[in-house]
Amino acid sequence: MRTIRVKASVEYDVIIDGGILPRAGELSLPVCGACSACIVTDDTVDALYSKTLEKSLLDSGFRVVKFVIPHGEASKSTTSLINLLEFLAENKLTRSDCIFALGGGVVGDLAGFAAAVYLRGIKFIQLPTTLLAAVDSSVGGKTAVDLVAGKNLAGAFHQPSLVICDYKTLDTLPPEIFSDGCAEVIKYGIINDRPLFELLKSGIRNNLEEVIAACVLNKSRIVAADEFDTGMRQLLNLGHTVGHAIEARSEFGISHGSAVAMGMAIVTRAAVSMGLCPENDLGEVVEMLESASLPTRCPYGADELVGTALGDKKRFGDTISLVVPYSIGDSRLYKINVNELKDFFERGLKE
Ligand code: NAD
Ligand code: GLY
């Protein structure tokens, strides 16, 4: 078991262990007492893990209600948010009650946003069941739903009161969803953790507890330094500006993890072409992504990506902040003029 303390405006623990879900009730008591608990989950995770969580909460004296959404990004919607808020009100949850988000990033983002706005804010606990949620979305307090105009366009910063990560639950993940999470894991290595990158060479599944703990430690440090995403937290967007453009261009037929993997390969290739990053590091990045069954080549041209990328949240006026690897373990924010973006993408897409 590893426990990592996140020192944001609210401090909380991330507890990482295999087989810890049956102890969720007892672990939550110090944080919220035996209150009314609303489990939020999706239908796939519900069938696999809700009973274990519900039993654990009931055994510890919680009153339990449950809200289940269909699995998939389409459920991260304003409709689901309103339905969930109405459900909380119908079930008379009060300010001293708590939401338990059991699932991947979709469940965590939706449940966290509901917790942020219900009664102007109640507690919530994250119980991530995907690798992506374990290493990224469950920590740091970014919560959101999607709007018709784009992903994550309505949201709030609302830190969880506790994160309980039972990585045994990752055993039931389909391989492609595990791979999506690997993209985020590899991202931390390239951003600022060369030793983690080296550890990943012996396999992510083989070292799950150590890998998740290293990623959470990285994220906790970044969140502590820049909770509200005005500076160094933007480093977590490595590969994401291009990745989001690829996802959107594919009408979400290309998964987030695959798009971010392509994005990381593209920015590293561009950095090598601009003389910012040694060529050898590009080879290592590509090899690492491929070993996690992730793609490194993009089916679109610079023209097809640049328009979408210019609508990115990281754009300020005529400049856009990209995250660029200067070497594995040393990525930096790199501001370029929007006029230079196409050239940057072309460099990254060259054979
Ligand atoms: P997801 O929540 O849709 O889960 C992927 C699929 O895996 C779903 O079909 C789900 O039912 C299934 N699943 C989950 N756990 C399972 C398990 N243990 N066994 C079998 N199947 C399981 O997707 P995700 O990749 O976890 O998260 C993506 C979302 O996270 C996106 O909406 C993204 O915007 C968001 N995100 C948020 C942050 C943040 O900081 N808040 C960071 C990164 C991503
Ligand atoms: N996943 C990006 C962030 O938490 O800032």
Amino acid identity of 282?
L
The half-sphere exposure of 68 on its side-chain side, counting CA atoms within 13 A, is: 11
Domain boundaries, the chain: 2-172, 175-349
CA distance 53 to 64: 10
Give distance in angstroms: CA of 133 to centre of ligand 1.
6
Pocket-testing residue among 69, 102, 106, ligand 1, by greatest number of atoms within 8 A of Cβ = 106
- From the number of C-beta atoms within 10 Å of its C-beta (0-12, 13-18, 19+), residue 152 rates as middle
Ligand 2 binding pocket includes 239 (Cβ within 6 Å): no
Amino acid identity of 59?
D
Give distance in angstroms: CA of 137 to centre of ligand 2.
7
CATH number belonging to the domain at 175-349, selected among 1.20.1090.10, 2.60.40.3080, 3.40.50.2300, 3.40.50.720: 1.20.1090.10
CATH number belonging to the domain at 2-172, selected among 3.40.50.300, 3.40.50.1970, 3.40.1180.10, 3.60.15.10: 3.40.50.1970
Amino acid identity of 294?
L
Ranges of the chain whose pLDDT falls below 70: 312-316
pLDDT for 310 equals 79
Q: Which atom of ligand 1 is nearest to the CA of 109?
A: 41
Ligand 2 binding pocket includes 332 (Cβ within 6 Å): no
pLDDT for 150 equals 84
Q: Which atom of ligand 1 is nearest to the CA of 136?
A: 42
pLDDT for 312 equals 64
Closest by CA position to 270, among listed 181, 196, 334, 318: 334
What is the enclosing helix (H) or strand (E) of 36? strand 36-42
Amino acid identity of 122?
I
Q: Which two tokens stand for residue 319?
A: 């400049």
Ligand 2 binding pocket includes 25 (Cβ within 6 Å): no
Which of the ligands is closest to the CA of residue 129?
1
Ligand 2 binding pocket includes 235 (Cβ within 6 Å): no
Q: Do domains 2-172 and 175-349 have the same CATH topology?
A: no
Please state whether beta strands 142-147 and 150-157 pair in parallel, antiparallel, or not at all (unpaired): antiparallel
pLDDT for 151 equals 87
pLDDT for 25 equals 98
Give distance in angstroms: CA of 336 to centre of ligand 1.
31
Cβ neighbour number for residue 235 with a 10 Å cutoff? 20
pLDDT for 93 equals 98
CA distance 106 to 118: 18
pLDDT for 117 equals 98
CA distance 187 to 298: 18
Ligand 2 binding pocket includes 233 (Cβ within 6 Å): yes
pLDDT for 315 equals 65
Q: Which atom of ligand 1 is nearest to the CA of 169?
A: 18
Closest by CA position to 21, among listed 137, 127, 131: 127
Give distance in angstroms: CA of 218 to centre of ligand 2.
11
Instruction: Using the structure block, give the residue that is written with the tokens 């809200």.
Output: 67
Residue nearest to atom 3 of ligand 1 (CA): 72
